[in-house]
């Protein structure tokens, strides 16, 4: 099942630059954009992620307890993308490492405070 996730932003230009650089580390590129939203993907049959200005015109806020998980190909890719996010100005929410025997993840908050985890199962 193909799906997508949206993250709110208050500065579409800044957020777009952040995700252009970050998601390119994983082979991601823009697949759709307009004056309110930019969306990235890695293939036609893969889920996508977007940043957007909230439709209701109110400020974007990060959800307490909300988190986007982005699957990576390896532990090394988790490490690389996590480090790149920090270099682009993200806040560290948990360095890459094993959380369970079957889950390796690194956590960040993007420039708008949205929480993401880059992870590898197994």
Q: Which of 7, 78, 4 is nearest to 46 (CA)?
A: 4
Q: Kindly tell me if the per-residue pLDDT of 19 is higher than 90.
A: yes
| Stronger pLDDT, 30 or 1, i.e. the higher one | 30
Helices and strands in the chain: count of H runs, count of E runs: 2, 8
- Check which CATH number belongs to the domain holding 111 and give it: 3.10.180.10
7 Cβ contact partners less than 8 Å away, ≥ 6 residues apart: 15, 49, 50, 51, 52, 68, 110, 112, 114
pTM for the structure as a whole: 0.91
Q: Kindly tell me if the per-residue pLDDT of 2 is higher than 90.
A: no
Q: Kindly tell me if the per-residue pLDDT of 42 is higher than 90.
A: yes
Judge contact between 70 and 26, C-beta under 8 A: yes
Q: The domain containing residue 40 runs over which residues?
A: 4-55+62-121
Q: What's the total number of domains in the chain?
A: 1
What 3-state DSSP class applies to 107?
Answer: strand
pLDDT score at 98: 97
Q: Kindly tell me if the per-residue pLDDT of 76 is higher than 80.
A: yes
pLDDT score at 1: 56
């Amino acid at each position: 099942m193909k799906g997508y996730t949206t993250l709110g932003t208050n500065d579409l230009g800044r957020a777009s630059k952040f995700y252009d650089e970050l998601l390119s580390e994983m082979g991601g590129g823009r697949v759709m954009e307009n004056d309110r939203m930019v969306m990235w993907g890695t293939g036609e049959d893969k889920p996508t992620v977007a940043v957007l200005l909230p439709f209701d015109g109110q400020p974007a806020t990060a959800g307490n307890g909300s988190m986007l998980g982005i699957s990576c190909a390896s532990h090394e890719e988790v490490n690389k993308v996590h480090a790149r996010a920090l270099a682009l100005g993200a806040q560290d929410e948990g360095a890459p490492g094993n959380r369970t025997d079957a889950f390796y993840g690194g956590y960040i908050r993007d420039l708008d405070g949205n929480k993401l985890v880059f992870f590898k199962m197994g």
